[in-house]
Structure 1
Amino acid sequence: MGTRIRIKTKPKRTFQMRIAGLGFRNGHVLVHRATHESFWTFPGGGAEIGETSEETLKREMVEELGVEVQVERLLWMVENFFRYEGRDWHELGLYYLMQIPVSFPFASDTIIHRVQDGDNDLEFKWVEATTAALNALDIPPYFIAGEIEALPPALRHLVWDDRDLDAKPPR
């Protein structure tokens, strides 16, 4: 295991680089969460020093899904600010379009895969790739729900800050 790109400072601030993938099938997108969390995320994980973002996504998907994905184009580069576990986070997030092999199971709106990832028990499910379905799910960063039905045709860079969003539950 390499050295993860994560810096913790005082008072209670953390920077990390996270790479995630959006994989689609039958009008659904794959999401996952740690079973102790209320919110969902798109599968991925922390980048490691000396590893390209595509290598990170491929490694994470082998570790979490047990399959090799095809990494396609970069959809979003997000300077993401949020609160989590009593800390203020500054995350550089890269979100790719990816192809998941057909050998990976599909069933709509039910847990289709579980895996132990460090201290976390992860569960995966396919959800409808619609704004309404993602808004109902609580899946940060929240801007993706509004763009899921029409992915950006070219790389989109944005700064996203959900530290003060009253409409969403605290994380």
Structure 2
Amino acid sequence: MISVHLHGQRFQVRAAAVILHAGHLLVHRAPGDAYWALPGGRVEVGEQASATIVREMKEELGEDVECGELLHIAENFFDLGGQRNHEIGFYFRVSLAETSGCLDKARIYPGIESHLELEFRWFPVAELASINLRPTFLPASLAADPPVFSHAVQREYP
């Protein structure tokens, strides 16, 4: 995976899935997290970011997905667990199969991230501003119908 420690910060390249279905967005969080995020993961050396999405969704949720167009590129600067992070993120439109077992908006779906049990959940796009979704540019950008390509710089520290 592309994740290195330089000058007291972690630098990483991440690919994330924007899964929209029937006016809802699929997000996930790890146990104890106060925020929600888009599913995805770190890009492996030599791996296309779109292939990362397909791999991560199979690993984390057991789902085969179709990775579509790139919606956002984001430069994220944030603290996580006392560690400063600089992340380059590629955000792709992603579709679940119509036969997916994860389309019921009322359910919470378990997922796996190495040793963590993830919680996947659907939220109405119209209510994204009321949840703690990271990075914070997402609720406004996903409210556009249809979503449009953007480059975002999200800085939580100077």
TM-score by length of 2: 0.91
Aligned match of 1:83: 79
Q: SS at the partner of 1:58?
A: helix
Aligned match of 2:48: 52
- Whether 2:151 is the aligned partner of 1:157: answer yes
Aligned match of 2:24: 28
Q: SS at the partner of 2:60?
A: helix
Q: Structure 1 159/59 Cα, relative in aligned 2: closer, same or farther at 3 Å?
A: same
Q: CA deviation at 1:116?
A: 2.5
Q: Structure 1 143/109 Cα, relative in aligned 2: closer, same or farther at 3 Å?
A: farther
Aligned match of 2:94: 98
Where does the alignment leave 5 or more consecutive residues of structure 1 unmatched? 165-171
Question: C-alpha deviations, 1:106-125, integer Å up to 9, x for none?
Answer: 233541x1122212110101
Whole-Å separation in 1 of the counterparts to 2:14 and 2:102: 25
Question: C-alpha deviations, 1:121-155, integer Å up to 9, x for none?
Answer: 1010111012xx222210111111112121443x3
**Percentage of identical aligned residues:** 33
Aligned match of 2:6: 9
AA in 1 matched with 2:18: L
AA in 1 matched with 2:47: E
Question: C-alpha deviations, 1:59-109, integer Å up to 9, x for none?
Answer: 001111212111111000011111111011100000001111122322335
AA in 2 matched with 1:163: Y
Whole-Å separation in 1 of the counterparts to 2:106 and 2:21: 12
TM-score by length of 1: 0.85
Whole-Å separation in 2 of the counterparts to 1:92 and 1:28: 25
Contact 1:109 1:127 in 2 (8 A): no
Contact 2:61 2:112 in 1 (8 A): no
Q: SS at the partner of 2:41?
A: strand
Q: Which has the higher strand share?
A: 2
Whole-Å separation in 2 of the counterparts to 1:24 and 1:55: 19
Q: Structure 1 104/163 Cα, relative in aligned 2: closer, same or farther at 3 Å?
A: farther
Structure 1 runs (4+) deviating above 3 angstroms are none
Whole-Å separation in 2 of the counterparts to 1:148 and 1:120: 27
